[in-house]
Chains A and B, each alone.
Chain A
Amino acid sequence: MHGTERFTAAVHQWLLGMFSPGAAHIAEMVLTGLAYLAFFAVAGLALVYLERRIAAFFQVRLGPNRVGPFGLLQTVADALKLVAKEPIGTKKADHFLYSLAPYFLIISSLMAISVIPMGAGFSAFDIDVGVFFLIAVSSVGVLGILIAGWGSYNKYSLIGALRSGAQMISYELSVGLSLLTMILLVGSLRFSDVVQAQSDYWLIFKGHIPAFIAFVIFIISGTAESNRTPFDLVEAESELGAGFHSEYSGIQFAFFFLSEFINMFIISAVAATVFLGGWMPFHIGDLEGFNHIMDYIPGPVWFFIKTGFIIFLMMWFRWTFPRLRIDQLMKLEWKYLLPLNLLNILLMAFFVWKGWYL
């Protein structure tokens, strides 16, 4: 914890030494923006490589292992290939909307990443409605998909985009409500408060039964939010109605593709922060010695281990389960997940009132 705070303080002092306070502030903002963009790109590349490798191990084969040592440069080669492709558009496409659509997704993902703390004080904004801000901003991504479908002037893209839009809007309800269940335990929407409240036990252990149910519901809804199997009928119906990104090629397609993986990262990061403790090491109540040993591993390492675990879980789902049909998907949300979520909130409120939590 102290390591990251010292790091940010040192950078702040160095900048103050070089510029006047106003210019140093602006320089800090520019540096943070660049850092996040670099993280975005590297995380996207790493996730694509990981997905292919893990998928290969599930399917008893080797993944990419020729480009670079252990195939680590495979995604770089893919990105270069995509950049070199010609962006073909349709003649009758609405050019303004068609070109605008990918940016909605990128901007909403970047704004969502900026509030998640990766270490103590290691987030771009620490506003006091952090959780609410994150859920609100990720809804903007749905707009990007709808605009992409409409602007392509292709009836199959439109059908795919509308289906995907319906799916994402429905499952946002479950995401929001399951996060709300955990906020009842914490009492504040600020992300740093959420992480600090887990300094004796992680929230999933604190609120035992309702927290576990909320975790399961969050994982299912999060998988549906990022359009992954078993909820990926948008992409896999490319048998018949090609998905909403069918008319895009080249770098614009790369944006859609990347934003899917970054969405997955955001969902995992939120799950890791709210349920599993964020950058807080694994503490058990008052055991001083144990807690002290756990503190040796720095905060960001804990964060990435937990996020990685949930990403692995989501990939495991993708390569095991068949797909759901669109009406089954809607039925699952509105008839099963939403009532369970509401009941769960009542249960958690009852437990908090009685004080039956760790």
Chain B
Amino acid sequence: MLARIAYQVYWIGRYVARAEFTARMLDGVFQASLQAQGDISRQPLSWEAVMAVMGAEPDGSGPVPASDAVRALTLDPESPASVTACVDRAREGARTVRDVVSTEMWEALNTLFLELNDSDLGAALRTGPYSVYSFVRERCALWWGLADETMLRDGSYFFLGAGRHSESAEMIVRMLRVALSGRAGSDPATEGNSALALLQAVGGLEAFRRSVPTPVGPGPVVEFLTFETDYPHSVAASIESLLAALDEVSADGRGTAPVLRLARLRAELEFHRGLDTEIGDELDPVRDGRPMTALLEHIQRELAVVDAEVERRYFTGETPQRQVVSA
């Protein structure tokens, strides 16, 4: 398919995934703040944390007021992480590839866009943030559902999925890194609970309970979200899906650079999972001499390389010698 269209569709996938993830995170913080009953010091998941996950660094130090975080991550059209900005860009992209995206998909995305832009979002967020984020989550879920139901299984479908899984994998890794960094909650004593709060935010708590026999604790949660291939939004599962999508679009099958790298990464994860833990604390177990935090950092770096390789391999439409890597 045309490189330009593949590129557009890939990024639509990424933006929709990012918007959805951000909405979930923000919702999670609101939930956490409710649980803490207004006592910020007891809040297991803080605004700073979420902003750190999304890469939107807060100005200055100290606790971030809810309003600032909400603004930055929901309303700010300039911030690459904000929900409205992501939806804007996804919709703009979908407009230019109308032929590839079904009418129903377009309408789902367009409705989301219109709602976010037309209504007085600021007010809605103050009074009932849950409904805003819930609306975003619903529309995104509808989008993916329609993609599954109405898209032909051709290049567009797989690149859309590749964008989604690429973004998912990265988001989960970032989230876990923040959770393990001790910056997630306001109270260091309850830092273990932030991982839990995050799991709840991404909607995996119930799946976790069904899958893991041990009582809910921060360590098992991190393991679950990293390694559990049966849970679709774990790091391992996202990598697996991304690999499968790229495999489908590569005429030369297993031969391309990003596919090979992802296969290696998947193998590394399997390897790590199977090892016994050595000494180390509960939250940051060490396997094969490598603490969890180091593993996560490694994964994040590899995913960034894959991203660049995907762009070079599929979106420049060039012969290999002429490919120029963008910064």
A and B from one complex = no
A residues with a Cβ closer than 8 A to B are none
